[in-house]
Amino acid sequence: MGSSGNTLVITKKEMRSLLNEKTLILAVIIQLMIASFSSLLVIGLSSFFDPSALDRYDIDRVKVGIIGEGELKRFIEKSKVKPYYYEDLDSALLDFNNNRIDAVLVFPTSESSSNEIIQILLYLPKSDIKGTFVTLQLKKPLEEFEAFVRDVRGPRIGFEPVRLYVDEAPKKTSTYFEFIYGILIPLLVLTPVFISGSMVIDMLTEEYERRTMELLLVSPLSFSEILNGKMLAAVLLVPAQVFLWLVLVSLSGIEVNNIGIILLLTTAVSVIIILIGAVIAVRYKERVISQYLYSLILILLFMAGYLFADSPFNLITRLSSGAAGAEALIYCGVYAAVAVPLYAHVTSSLP
């Protein structure tokens, strides 16, 4: 059996053993759930850092108990809020505590033309999610009321405020778009890359710690064949997982562009990451130390990626959203070229 045949023997052995790796299986299951329910996750997770993102979805009108009369009433009545009027605060709070209404709003007694500070009293539910829905629907009428009061009281300032006009001001990108293409897809795609680098460390350090590397070396297998077989097994997992995640994301109703180029890019990056893991494992031969150093290097590489506009993270964002196309193949070639000296360094470290 030739050198390539021996390498494939090691690769098949490692692929079979990976099926019994509980950590890998758990990671795959978690990624599977994220990819399968990506649309649902977007609704929930994007609302944490931008609650206004929920406004693009159809939400039932919240029931708000109203106490008092005033100029705010006309802004509330033309909003999405469903008002329920009460004569006193106690009766409104009774229904609020019994979950008959979602919030209680006490109108201010001060007129907009007066000199008094306008105070609005609002009771919200303890539930963060429910409270978010209430404040989301109350935000617009309250902002309109604030603008109305400013217009009424504006002439008292005594001078005309400076108005700024910005031509062609860029519009804010959709939170849904930012979360899907800027966070979710890149993390789903790069997670198998990071896991594969960690796996190749486990594959190699396990042989050293169990002292089975010596037994393999006295067999017809050479160290280069052993190393290549283990690294090939780690590399092959990456495009398989990435393709599965992107298909599941597409089935969730999210359009993913340039899947083929993304597969090439992640494979090239995975080769670099796996080679880094192999260099560390061959050098230190202990799993704990090797994984620690690998994690530090991975963090540094991840942070350094933000210094470059065409880092893997940004390229995946642009490719999946359709902002980049075949020109990204150049960077695939660049990353593949980077892997060559790394592989030469690993082979030069052979015992």
* Tens of pLDDT, residues 6-48: 777 777 777 777 666 665 676 667 666 665 555 555 555 555 5
Q: Which tokens go with 53?
A: 């993102």
Higher pLDDT, 287 or 167: 287
How many Cα atoms occupy the beta-carbon half-sphere of 163 within 13 Å? 3
Specify the pLDDT at position 276.
Answer: 92
Domain ranges of the chain: 1-45+174-349, 55-156
Fold of 55-156: D-Maltodextrin-Binding Protein; domain 2 (3.40.190)
Averaged pLDDT of the chain: 80
pTM as predicted: 0.66
How many Cα atoms occupy the beta-carbon half-sphere of 94 within 13 Å? 6
C-alpha 45/C-alpha 41 separation (Å) is 6
Tens of pLDDT, residue by residue over 215-228, are: 776 677 777 888 88
Q: Closest Cα to residue 283, out of 295, 294, 298, 268?
A: 294
Q: Is the predicted pLDDT of residue 269 greater than 90, yes or no?
A: yes
Q: Is the predicted pLDDT of residue 150 greater than 50, yes or no?
A: yes
Higher pLDDT, 98 or 114: 98
Q: Give Cα 169 distance to the centre of its chain.
A: 27
In percent, how much of the chain has pLDDT > 90? 18
Specify the pLDDT at position 1.
Answer: 46
- One-letter amino acid at 268 equals A
Q: Strand 121-123 vs strand 63-67: parallel, antiparallel, or unpaired?
A: unpaired
Q: E strands of the chain, at which residues? A: 63-67, 82-86, 103-106, 121-123
C-alpha 174/C-alpha 35 separation (Å) is 20
Q: 340 phi and psi, to 5 degrees? A: -65, -55
| Beta-carbon contacts of residue 49 (< 8 Å; ≥ 6 apart) | 175
Average pLDDT over residues 90-104: 90
Q: Quickly count: other Cβ atoms within 10 Å of residue 140's Cβ.
A: 15
Specify the pLDDT at position 294.
Answer: 94
Average pLDDT over residues 150-168: 71
C-alpha 208/C-alpha 131 separation (Å) is 56
Per-residue pLDDT band at 55 (split at 50, 70, 90): low
Q: Which tokens go with 12?
A: 């098949």
Q: Closest Cα to residue 29, out of 250, 246, 245?
A: 245
Across the beta sheet with 121-123, what order do the strands follow? 82-86, 63-67, 103-106, 121-123
C-alpha 104/C-alpha 84 separation (Å) is 9
Q: Is the predicted pLDDT of residue 198 greater than 80, yes or no?
A: yes
C-alpha 342/C-alpha 270 separation (Å) is 12
C-alpha 274/C-alpha 199 separation (Å) is 8
Q: Closest Cα to residue 294, out of 279, 306, 308?
A: 279
Answer for the pair 116, 70: CB distance below 8 angstroms, yes or no: no
- One-letter amino acid at 224 equals S
Q: Is the predicted pLDDT of residue 83 greater than 60, yes or no?
A: yes
Tens of pLDDT, residue by residue over 212-267, are: 877 776 677 777 888 888 899 889 989 988 998 888 888 877 889 999 999 999 99
The answer for 338, left when phi > 0, alpha when psi is -120 to 50, beta otherwise, is alpha
C-alpha 349/C-alpha 339 separation (Å) is 16
Q: Which tokens go with 186?
A: 């890149």
Q: Is the predicted pLDDT of residue 272 greater than 50, yes or no?
A: yes
Within 252-304, residue ranges assigned H as helices are: 259-284, 287-304
Q: Quickly count: other Cβ atoms within 10 Å of residue 130's Cβ.
A: 15
